[in-house]
């Protein structure tokens, strides 16, 4: 299917690895020029070069921390005039409700709620002026099916979800389409780190930890960054203009929900 976005320009945050990389790759495959971002310049440069070589699109690299005001200022300057924004950042750490102090909450809210909101605030006016835009926020399955030990993520990302629910409907009349993509368990470095922690705690191999977790998913496997990226690219496509303010769960059926 031709996604109808060849020649458009996208900012994909936190995209040298994992789900962000999957989104960058799928957009590049559709002919979209990219601004890619991550904190570590080395892996970012390698990812950008691989995408240029594979898809022949222009790729600009901005190495910075998207969760800081300075990092966002750098990204916003580089991304002036973009048609597509994909927001992403690392997730907050797990823990227990009674352990988190005000500072932990402020960090989670800054990274996983205010960062995407500030990027939308900066970049959507240009999209509105040009009458076309797409925003995809990478959130989490925890927004629909909260994970007890991820209280910081549940809270901060639910705040973003509430903001998007209203805002997506305010910008849609101007041709700007905003949706959230909710990953369940996907095979990325983050998933490996979680499996390694379980393996160490329970004295089992990482393969065993992974197999146990995969067994809890009706699809009986982890999702892939490629599958995730394909859905992201579709939501950024010409065909997605009637999908407004949705929370799309990609979890292999893990959350047992009717809606
Ligand atoms: P990942 O494999 O660890 O990749 C994270 C990517 O983001 C890397 O490119 C990393 O590069 C970059 N990054 C992290 N923090 C950043 C920051 N502050 N500023 C700029 N770039 C940053 O992670 P992932 O699995 O793709 O997860 C992406 C998001 O989805 C996270 O918020 C995660 O909580 C959420 N999620 C993931 C899963 C899953 O199963 N994978 C499930 C639910 C939710 P640098 O380290 O060089 O910055």
Long-range (24+ apart) CB contacts under 8 A made by 125-130 are 126/80, 126/81, 126/82, 127/82, 127/83, 127/171, 127/174, 127/175, 127/176, 128/171, 128/174, 128/175, 128/176, 130/83
161-165 long-range contacts, CB within 8 A, separation 24+: 161/247, 163/113, 163/117, 164/137, 164/245, 165/245
Q: Quote the percentage of the chain above a pLDDT of 70.
A: 100
* pLDDT for res 64: 98
The arithmetic mean of pLDDT across residues 86-104, rounded, is: 96
Pocket flag, ligand 1, residue 190 (CB < 6 Å): yes
Quote the pTM value: 0.98
Cα 189 to averaged position of ligand 1 atoms, centre (Å): 8
Per-residue pLDDT tens over the stretch 54-74: 999 999 999 999 999 999 999
Q: Average per-residue pLDDT in the chain?
A: 97
What domains can be seen in the chain, in order of their start residue?
A: 9-184+225-250 (3.40.50.720), 187-222 (no CATH)
CA-nearest residue for atom 7, ligand 1, is: 14
CA of 214 to the centre of ligand 1 (A): 20
Please give the structure tokens belonging to residue 120: 């939308």
Compute the distance between CA of residue 188 and CA of residue 122 in angstroms, rounded to an integer. Answer: 29
Q: What is the mean pLDDT of residues 165-183?
A: 98
Sign of the C-alpha dihedral computed for residues 201, 204, 207 and 209 taken in this order:
negative
Whether the CB-CB separation of 78 and 60 falls below 8 Å is answered with yes
């Amino acid at each position: 299917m031709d996604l109808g976005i060849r020649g458009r320009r996208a900012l994909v945050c936190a995209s040298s690895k994992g789900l962000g990389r999957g989104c960058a790759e799928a957009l590049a495959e559709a002919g979209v020029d990219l601004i890619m971002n991550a904190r570590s310049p080395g892996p970012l440069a390698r990812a950008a070069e691989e995408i240029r070589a594979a898809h022949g699109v222009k790729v600009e690299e901005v190495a910075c921390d998207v969760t800081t005001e300075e990092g966002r200022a750098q990204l916003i300057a580089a991304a002036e005039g973009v048609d597509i924004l994909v927001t992403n950042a690392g997730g907050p750490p797990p823990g227990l409700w009674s352990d988190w102090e005000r500072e932990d909450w402020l960090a989670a809210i800054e990274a996983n709620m205010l960062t995407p909101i500030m990027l939308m605030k900066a970049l959507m006016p240009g999209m509105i002026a040009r009458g076309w835009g797409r925003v995809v926020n990478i959130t989490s399955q925890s927004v629909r099916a909260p994970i007890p030990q991820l209280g910081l993520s549940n809270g901060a990302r639910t705040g973003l979800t509430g903001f998007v629910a209203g805002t997506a409907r305010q910008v849609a009349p101007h041709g700007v389409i905003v949706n959230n993509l909710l990953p369940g368990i996907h095979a990325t470095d983050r998933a490996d780190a979680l499996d390694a922690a379980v393996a160490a705690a329970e004295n089992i191999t990482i393969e065993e930890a992974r197999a146990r977790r995969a067994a809890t998913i009706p699809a009986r496997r982890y999702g892939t960054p490629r599958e995730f990226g394909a859905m992201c690219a579709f939501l950024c496509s010409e065909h997605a203009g009637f999908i407004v303010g949705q929370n799309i769960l990609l979890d292999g059926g893990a959350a047992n929900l009717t809606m």
